[in-house]
Amino acid sequence: MSTRSELTEYDRTALYLALDGALTDEALKSLQKKARDLTDSIVEDIEFNLRDNLASNLSWHVHEMAGRAVEALLEGNQDEMVRWLRCDNRRWNGRSDAEHGDREIERQHPVIHGKLFEQGCVLLRKKIVEAHKDLLASERMLDLEDQVKSLVAQNNKLEREKDEWIRRAQGCEATP
């Protein structure tokens, strides 16, 4: 019994022989030119579509990565944030207790011209808090207030349902 590769090789050889016998050199050159023209046309279409869609695809990709990085930041997940930003291969949160805090402690947070030099994650956290301290606090308060309203409404609904059950149970006991 023949294997699949032997059949494929046999079929390929048979096809070459049939084409060689059926096509003249002129017809073969014409087919090669048509194949080249078709290939060139496909390549041109691909290049055009790449160039035409590059800006929107790149914009979408950056938007997605930034959104995921912000979500990771809000969840406090430093590794995920760095992963989505693709800005660092190390796991260092800017503090000496981090995984890559292998430099001596006095070199980790340098003072340059009499001013503490903050960088990386430490600087990002500082800028976020400085820029949005009131916003962060007020938005968190609004979140908590909204959660309290929801919990109060849920509690009131459960109280009404409980009262209804009690009334029904009392009504059943009164009826002999």
Per the CB < 8 A criterion, the answer to whether 31 and 23 are in contact is: yes
| 3-15: average pLDDT | 79
Compute the distance between CA of residue 78 and CA of residue 93 in angstroms, rounded to an integer: 7
> Which one-letter amino acid corresponds to residue 32?
Q
Tokens of 142: 């609004």
| 38-48: average pLDDT | 93
Per the CB < 8 A criterion, the answer to whether 91 and 98 are in contact is: yes
143-153 pLDDT per residue, tens: 778 888 888 88
Compute the distance between CA of residue 78 and CA of residue 124 in angstroms, rounded to an integer: 11
pLDDT at residue 44, rounded to an integer? 93
- The answer for residues whose C-beta is within 8 angstroms of residue 117's C-beta and 6 or more apart is 109, 110, 111
**Residue 83's pLDDT band (cuts 50, 70, 90):** confident
pTM of the model: 0.31
Compute the distance between CA of residue 134 and CA of residue 128 in angstroms, rounded to an integer: 11
Compute the distance between CA of residue 10 and CA of residue 50 in angstroms, rounded to an integer: 40
- Furthest-apart CA pair in the chain: how many Å? 108
Compute the distance between CA of residue 22 and CA of residue 115 in angstroms, rounded to an integer: 85
pLDDT at residue 136, rounded to an integer? 75
pLDDT at residue 89, rounded to an integer? 47
90-145 pLDDT per residue, tens: 544 455 555 544 556 665 666 677 776 676 666 777 787 788 888 777 877 877 78
pLDDT at 81 over 90: no
